[in-house]
């Protein structure tokens, strides 16, 4: 940025994050933390907020959705969800489980007869959800920064489905977006609808999410954020990759307001039953390091209460995201940023907002 642009940027940041009359201490603290995400962490633009019992208690945005044009980032700016998409895919699978149309412990071939059998053993739906299937992740930078437009999930699966598994299914944990592509295809076959159509009808419409969908290049939805990447303390514009190779695991766009609505719909049991959410928040594998993982959710609470706080993080080119939920208090926290390479800072902010939301006093 030029010196003049930086000056305008700082003036804008000050205006968006501090120009609130009669700020409560909790709102002031949250605003300051959001401002620091821009000034101290190299994030170009971000929005954050939290809701309690269905009501948004605080939300704000800072920085730019497109710095070159000085377009402000707002709570309605559309940005990539990154891996938060996995929670929506998992919820869709569990809706079909509730209906008796999917059995978590049957092999993938029950629903996808043409999926190749593996020497290492059969993969179950549960193992796909829990990242214990043995399916690998992107094998190269070319795959991660994909530029090919895949017309269907079936076409996207062709990239990896014939590869050997990394281990016998169920014997280890290995985080993989490709496993969620398989889940997306299962949703299509079982429901008779495209992945996008199923989520539109059964998740986005139910939750009131009017600005969430599948990213399709070169389409450019109104109020969409530009993409940025931080590397070695320097932030610059990022080249867009094509997300059609990972839609159910990280190929969606959304807004702050929509993600809060999604979180509210989860904790209010409008998408899945309370018993189903309880099932999803049981650790599926005893990992040696990192947060435990359930069925589509990371578990963030301290042992032995890992499921007190659940959620999901995400990072990909041009995005760093986090959603956290406290089902018992019906609390939802969301942070969406347009700058990859800043995931740790986004998670730190989300964790701090959980703490603020739990403090006594008015927002």
Report the pLDDT value the prediction gives residue 7, as an integer from 0 to 100.
30
- Phi and psi of 327, rounded to 5°? -55, -40
d(CA 242, CA 150): 9
Q: How much of the chain, in percent, has pLDDT values that exceed 90? A: 87
The Cα 73–Cα 295 span in angstroms is 32
pLDDT in tens, 326-350: 999 999 999 999 999 999 999 999 9
- Distance of CA 252 to CAs 40, 89, 133, 214, 311, Å? 28, 11, 23, 4, 17
* Cα torsion through 230, 83, 180, 125, rounded to 10: 140
Strand 228-231 to 339-340 pairing = parallel
Which pLDDT score is estimated for 22? 62
CA distance linking residue 133 with residue 178, whole number of Å? 10
Q: CA-CA distances (angstroms) from residue 152 to 108, 204, 212, 293?
A: 18, 20, 19, 28
Contact 244, 156 (CB under 8 A): yes
* Structure confidence at residue 9 (pLDDT): 32
Angle 348-350-354 from CA coordinates, rounded to 5°: 115
Four-CA torsion 5, 317, 184, 162, nearest 10 degrees: 160
Q: Which 3-state string (H, E, C) describes 196-209?
A: HHHHHHHHHHHHCC
In order, the DSSP letters of 297-338 are: -EE-SPTT-GGGSEEEEEEETTEEEEEEEEGGGTEEEEEEES
Torsion sign across C-alpha atoms 187, 192, 195, 201: negative
* Cα-based distances in Å from 334 to 84, 91, 192, 261: 10, 18, 32, 10
Cα angle value 250/251/254 (rounded, 5°): 95
Work out the average pLDDT over 177-181.
98
Residue 217's pLDDT band (cuts 50, 70, 90): confident
Which pLDDT tens digit goes with each residue over 290-327?
899 999 999 998 888 889 999 999 999 999 999 999 99
Average pLDDT of the residues of the chain: 93
> How far is it, in rounded angstroms, from Cα 50 to Cα 56?
6
Who's near 88: CB < 8 A, 6+ residues apart? 199, 203, 252, 262
Q: Please write the tens of the pLDDT for every residue from 16-39.
A: 333 344 689 999 999 999 999 999
pLDDT value, residue 16: 39
In whole angstroms, what is the distance from residue 73 CA to residue 66 CA?
8
Give the pTM. Answer: 0.93
4 confidence band (pLDDT: 50, 70, 90): very low
Does the structure show a pLDDT above 70 at 199? yes
CA distance 107 to 347: 35
- Residue pair 111/186 in contact (Cβ under 8 Å)? The answer is yes
Query: Tell me, what's the pLDDT at 50?
Result: 98
Q: Work out the percent of the chain whose per-residue pLDDT is above 70.
A: 93
Q: What average pLDDT does the segment 225-239 reach?
A: 95
Among 309, 341, 336, which Cα is nearest to 325's?
Answer: 309
H/E stretch holding 144 reads helix 141-144
What was the pLDDT predicted at 289? 82
């Amino acid at each position: 940025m030029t010196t003049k642009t930086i000056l305008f940027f700082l003036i804008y940041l000050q205006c968006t994050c501090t120009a609130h009359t009669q700020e409560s201490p909790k709102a002031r603290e949250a605003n300051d933390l959001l401002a620091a995400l821009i000034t101290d962490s190299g994030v170009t633009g971000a929005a954050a907020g939290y809701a309690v019992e269905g009501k948004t208690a605080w939300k704000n945005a800072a920085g730019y959705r497109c710095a070159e044009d000085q377009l402000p980032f707002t709570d309605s700016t559309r940005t990539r969800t990154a891996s938060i998409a996995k929670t929506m895919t998992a919820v869709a699978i569990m809706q079909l489980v509730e209906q008796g149309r999917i059995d978590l412990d049957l092999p993938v071939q029950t629903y996808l007869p043409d999926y190749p059998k593996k020497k290492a053993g059969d993969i179950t739906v549960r193992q796909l959800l829990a990242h214990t299937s043995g399916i690998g992740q992107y094998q190269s930078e070319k795959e991660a920064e994909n530029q090919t437009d895949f017309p269907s999930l079936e076409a996207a699966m062709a990239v990896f489905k014939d590869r050997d598994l990394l281990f016998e299914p169920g014997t280890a944990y290995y985080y993989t977006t490709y496993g969620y592509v398989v889940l997306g295809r299962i949703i299509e076959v079982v429901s008779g609808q495209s992945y996008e159509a199923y989520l539109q009808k059964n998740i986005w419409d139910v939750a009131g999410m009017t600005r969430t969908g599948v990213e399709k290049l070169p389409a450019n939805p109104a109020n969409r954020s530009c993409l940025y990447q931080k590397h070695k303390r320097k932030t610059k514009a990022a080249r867009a990759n094509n997300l059609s190779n990972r839609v159910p695991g990280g190929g969606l766009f959304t807004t702050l307001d929509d993600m809060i609505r999604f979180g509210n719909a989860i904790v209010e049991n409008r998408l899945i039953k309370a018993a189903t959410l309880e099932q999803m928040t049981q650790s599926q594998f005893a990992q040696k390091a990192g947060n435990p993982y359930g069925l589509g959710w990371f578990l963030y609470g301290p042992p032995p209460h890992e499921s007190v706080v659940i959620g999901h993080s995400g990072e990909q080119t041009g995005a760093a995201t986090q959603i956290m939920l406290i089902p018992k208090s019906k609390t939802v926290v969301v942070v969406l940023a347009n700058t990859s390479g800043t995931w740790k800072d986004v998670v730190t902010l989300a964790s701090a907002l959980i703490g603020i939301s739990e403090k006594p006093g008015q927002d």
